[in-house]
Chains A and B, each alone.
Chain A
Amino acid sequence: MKLVTAIIKPFKLDDVREALSEIGVQGVTVTEVKGFGRQKGHTELYRGAEYVVDFLPKVKVEVAIGDSLLDQVIESITKAANTGKIGDGKIFVTELEQAIRIRTGETGEEAV
């Protein structure tokens, strides 16, 4: 099983969620995060004092999937979240050692 973590632009969340539904991904966890890659931040002013906002709002989408879905998921997210402009985000894939459904106790591929 794999844990796919995608950092995307916040307004792309709906597109990504729909795209994942279409290929059969059943569960998603979403977190509001802040971050930067090569996009960098900007300066703002508050009552005449300048301050730097390095961290930009992003959304982190996490899906736990079986190995067979991995390529489709990566392709879906990439297409849905892409704007072509700097700051589109990244996808990270990590090996998921174990998964358990709390309600039923199912484990492994049946739990994702």
Chain B
Amino acid sequence: MESNLFHLQYAIDTFYFLVCGALVMWMAAGFAMLESGLVRAKNTTEILTKNVALFAVACTMYLICGYAIMYGGSIVLSGMGDVDVDAVLGEFAGREDGFTGGSIYSGAADFFFQVVFVATAMSIVSGAVAERMKLWAFLVFAVFMTGFIYPLEGAWTWGGKDVFGMYNLGDLGFSDFAGSGIVHMAGAAAALAGVLLLGARKGKYGPNGEIRAFPGANMPLAAIGMFILWMGWFGFNGGSVLKLGDIANAHSVAMVFLNTNAAAAGGAIAALITARLMFGKADLTMLINGALAGLVVITAEPSTPSALTAAIFGAFGGVLVVLSVVTMDKLRIDDPVGAISVHGVCGLLGLLLVPVTNSDVSFSGQIIGALTIFVWVFIASLVVWGIIKAVMGLRVSEEDEYEGVDLSECGMEAYPEFVSSK
């Protein structure tokens, strides 16, 4: 009888990971739509190609070596195959923390849930470098980011390993529930390194400090992208509870969904008001960034805050992201979609807010963790981007940038007109 319960608990916890993983996978569509809406029409095909290809590269590299680096186990997932049902039942029976303790579920589900997070981190980079980077330079970087750079910092955080044998972040009181720092700030760090080596789009910044607008070509796509990301985030944060099959955890999952939603709403409202006050009009793209900023902020700790606190934390993110976008432009760091502001700046804020509602976590631990992640990813990325720049170049030619990377990188327009076959 008891073993039947174990079967069910394994099944529900495995199923839960799979569904949440599928939701996070759906975020890839969100990023693709958001980014294609915020770039100009002549660069749409290329950014879509980047988004689809990076997802495939991330899944493959993580399968080949990333997962092994992050959590141990064999490369190419060679150990993953059958399940020994009796051994698993034995694990359940021998569990020290009992039925309501840590979850036991399929290793395949664990991989699936983890791999979609890698893809999310990588996807953050594609928006920041949009409209002027060589497609293949980006994909080469993706190989290294998803195969090595991300997995290493993931190993030091969720993997519990010492940082180059020097110190242990878990021991120092660092906590990042679903990845404000590990996924979002890390992605932004890689993006920042890329953007600094790449340079701004031609004509974006004038010689006398002018900032020229390059309006995105498709607001409906941007909006639907944001909503897709919002929905996918329920899987991102919800799945990070890591268990569904007992009363306490199921409730925790519900609180996480609730808080994730509240933070997004708070961020959206705060950004809208901030943009209205600063610019005199409601800026849809800032509203979108605000909702996402709220989501990023709460990602570090979506289970302990009250719903109202989650909304307020989200609102902090909403205000911060608008200020950050404007500041980045003032610093002449060109980020067409605000990725570094949404994921980097607000990812850091998310990490720093955790100790406010979670007393097991220390501010010093969060700062050390944030620095560890940022310094590692930023420096490693700079090196990889730098090598790519030296070997094949990062940037398309001025003429190609003018004509649009759809033509130079993909040979295909997103909105073709007046075409004829030979």
Contact = CB atoms under 8 A, between A and B. Distances in A.
Contacts, number: 34
Contacts of A38: none
B285 A47 contact: yes
B216 to A, nearest CB: 8
Interface string A32-61: 000000000000111111110000000000
Contact of A48 (B214, B215, B329): B329
Nearest to B210: A49
Interface in B266-308: 278-281, 283, 285-286
Nearest to B216: A46
A51 B325 CA distance: 17
B213 interface: yes
B212 interface: yes
A49 B281 contact: no
Interface string B326-337: 100100000000
B212 A47 contact: no
Nearest to B279: A45
Interface in B4-18: none
A51 B329 CA distance: 15
B325 A47 contact: yes
Contacts of B286: 47
B285 A45 contact: no
**How big is the A interface, by class?**
under 10
Interface residues of B, number: 16
B211 interface: yes
B338 interface: yes
Interface in B304-331: 325-326, 329
A68 to B, nearest CB: 37
B282 to A, nearest CB: 10
A48 B278 contact: yes
A46 B217 CA distance: 12
Contacts of B329: 47-49
A45 B326 CA distance: 12
Contacts of B211: 48-49
A1 B60 CA distance: 69
A26 B272 CA distance: 51
A50 B209 CA distance: 13
A50 B278 CA distance: 12
B209 to A, nearest CB: 11
A99 B279 CA distance: 53
Contacts of A46: 213-215, 283, 285
A9 to B, nearest CB: 23
Contacts of A48: 211, 278-279, 283, 325-326, 329
A50 to B, nearest CB: 7
A51 B326 CA distance: 15
Nearest to A45: B279
A47 B338 contact: yes
A51 B279 CA distance: 12
A14 B112 CA distance: 56
Contacts of B212: 49, 51
A49 B325 CA distance: 11
Nearest to B327: A48
Contacts of A47: 213, 283, 285-286, 325-326, 329, 338
B412 to A, nearest CB: 25
A50 B338 CA distance: 17
Contacts of A45: 213, 279-281, 283
A34 to B, nearest CB: 15
Nearest to A50: B213
Most buried by B among A45, A46, A50: A46
B2 to A, nearest CB: 59
A9 B325 CA distance: 37
A47 B286 CA distance: 7
Contacts of B215: 46, 51
A77 B281 CA distance: 37
| 6 closest cross-chain pairs (CB), A and B | A46-B213, A51-B213, A49-B213, A49-B211, A48-B326, A45-B279
Interface of B: 211-215, 278-281, 283, 285-286, 325-326, 329, 338
Interface of A: 44-51
Given A47-B338, A49-B213, 5 more contacts: A45-B213, A46-B214, A48-B278, A48-B326, A51-B212
7 contacts: A44-B213, A46-B215, A46-B283, A47-B325, A48-B283, A51-B213, A51-B215
